[in-house]
Structure 1
């Protein structure tokens, strides 16, 4: 491969910038024209996410598009009725409700709707899935009220373990981490 003149690369960059300006310049000016005007008394900061509602706020059965960066998320939860902001609402395959097929772009995984069966957990056992299935092995004085399956593991004093499996991250630890060097 031959050596390029030092002028060729900057010239190519200028041409590329001109192409981008011509192709996307009209789109940007049209979008700017449709934005609401702000007055001197309007001090509200408007973020892109607050312009319109999201198709869904939380999801128990979420999938991620592996080919898109930043991550794109789709919720597969079956609901009685799609939100008004859902653009693509379909009847579920089982016919027991509807599924919103909209994608949401977010760096963070969407929050789950179903609360964890435990408030905190020191001994969590989780699968290695991107969104894991977890079980908390902590021995507690009593199981939380939202734990469906509670097991007695010690009788004197009585200690219990919640056997529920949760689809999502295990949450915070109960015991704060303490350095052994102190």
Structure 2
């Protein structure tokens, strides 16, 4: 499966983003149930970097390819799965990192589109909610991506969300952001 270059998110219209999201079809990993074969020797670090046997995977296309066969198991573990093999992969926090934000519209009509470190585009909505957990150094922001997997929102992107929430202060009962008709409070539960 050839990987196309990542477009500049800021230069795309909402219609172009929607078309790209529609074109990015993922393999049906939820339907593949081969016998567990072992460990991949891979780890996804908290900062979104992928390692193999302790060495960084530096080819973006390899990370993007592996991310398409990543699945979260019912016990909370992660595997790389194909129709014939299933290998464990260690994940320190969340398997994805939301590293870029594109905003369309204002108020309740806003759409927040996130680019992940794998190149995937995700629209925050009822099916892909934002959530904030309490962490030792402040809130830990996450975006639900797919199949029970999350993207941790990078700190600069989180600050963009906070700026949007503060700009709306007084308009909503609690600070938060709107996207695709859903309201996401910025408080950590």
Instruction: Provide TM-score, normalisation by structure 1.
Output: 0.23
Q: Which has the higher strand share?
A: 2
Question: Which one scores higher on RCO, CA 8 angstroms, separation ≥ 6?
Answer: 2
Instruction: Provide TM-score, normalisation by structure 2.
Output: 0.22
- Higher-Rg structure is 1
Q: Which has the higher helix share?
A: 2
